[in-house]
Amino acid sequence: MGRLFGTDGARGVANTELTPELAMNIGRAAAMVLTSEEVEHPTIIIGKDTRLSGDMLEGALIAGLCSVGANVKILGVVPTPAVAYLIGKYKADAGIMISASHNPFEFNGIKIFSSEGYKLPDALEEQIEAIVLDNAVPYKQCVGNDMGTVEYLDAAADDYIDHVISTVEYDLKGMNIALDCSNGSASRTAKKLFESLGANCHMLFDTPDGVNINDNCGSTHTETLMQYVKDNGLDAGLAFDGDADRCLAVDDKGELVDGDYIIAIIAADFKSRGKLKENTVVGTVMTNMGFQKFCDVNGMNFVSTKVGDRYVLESMLNEGYNIGGEQSGHVICLDYSTTGDGQLTGAQLLSLLNRREAKLSSIATLMERYPQVLINVKVSNENKPRFATDEVINEKMKSVENILEGKGRLLVRLSGTEPIIRVMLEGEDYEEISRLANETAELIKERLS
């Protein structure tokens, strides 16, 4: 796995890359880094998604945490944002989510949250890595009464649902919607949440079996949801990923409404009601050029960060902004949540539509999306670093940028969560950018695979 943490926690194939031994040590190190010497028995909460390996890694984390004196509260299957919220409600010192988000079931991951409910900054993750990988500090060894205890919290999912409901100003009565739970964490919460808000819910992919999470469903595979909404004449559809921190929408015509559109719709509504703090929206380098144009036309400032919702959040916290996110569906409404929350985002979007008596297909026209081509090139983790120094690849990238001549852009980046290099081209002419993207991707595959 190299160093432990990517853009969204520690992640790898369960039991080969992300082993129980490694999980145990991450738990031990996290407890040591995140709690002060004055706290004799810090409290750490743990949630997980529906992957088969979740129980194994949960057990390992429990062992590691208890061995250094931490008391553990088990939440069971919950969304990632539930962990972030419940840290404060349960007055915990930190929280851990066991999930590999949108990745296939054989992967799993460990996401760590601070006592404030925020994902850890790079500096703290590096301290944990130094203990686990470099033996920078010996692990604590608690014995006798100093060891930690374990408690199971059956009400965790309901407490999270109640929180999301409390953020919604206008209910969803009269709305007919479809919910694609990706056979993941949303399977535990989405139906009760949206029905409690008054919606009539059609449930898709909400029967997890440990191995079907993200399997041709959810926010990375929206085709079934799009067709279902169209065929059944529904008002909208929502697609979550495995741990439900992402949300993509489908409009009443069966068309996809991605994260850029969702952020644009919510930001415009915030601005119209005087709720858009600092008159600014935060996105990433992957945000569509059309979104930036939307901000210009509507008199909003746009701030771009590195890819990863953690960097979006960092910018929002530093500058006092309250809405931001990613095209992939990580949307952060900082007035309501400390991290991306797919179900909260979906509830806010649908509430907005019902309040304004508007169709999603008409309201999404406020932004025009530039054609964009994204190709994922599989490479080994060992070969990924060679990308930056390969002269042939870099010459090709310069050539593509010269061809675009300011009418588009090329972005090639290493995935922080998968053994993938992402090639993205954006511009006015779809055929041209498609050809250039494929040429660039094939060259990277030839040189690095």
CA–CA gap between residue 256 and residue 335 (Å, rounded): 26
Out of 53, 101, 219, 351, pick the active-site residue: 101
Q: Is-contact 247 240, C-beta < 8 A? A: yes
Q: Is-contact 84 54, C-beta < 8 A? A: no
Our measurement of the distance from residue 270's CA atom to the centroid of its chain's CA atoms, rounded to an integer in Å, reads 22
Annotate 381-400 with b (16+ C-beta within 10 A) or e (fewer). eeebeebeebeebeebbeeb
For the chain, counts of helices (H) and of strands (E):
14, 19
Q: Which residue has the tokens 């979740």?
A: 54
Q: Is-contact 178 197, C-beta < 8 A? A: no
Of the candidates 224, 237, 3, 9, the one whose C-alpha atom is nearest the C-alpha of residue 108 is 9
Active site residue 101: yes
Of the candidates 261, 5, 273, 289, the one whose C-alpha atom is nearest the C-alpha of residue 133 is 5
Q: What is the DSSP string of 226-274?
A: HHHHHHTT-SEEEEE-TTS--EEEE-TTS-EE-HHHHHHHHHHHHHHTT
Q: SS3 for 368?
A: coil
CA–CA gap between residue 102 and residue 448 (Å, rounded): 24
Active site residues: 101
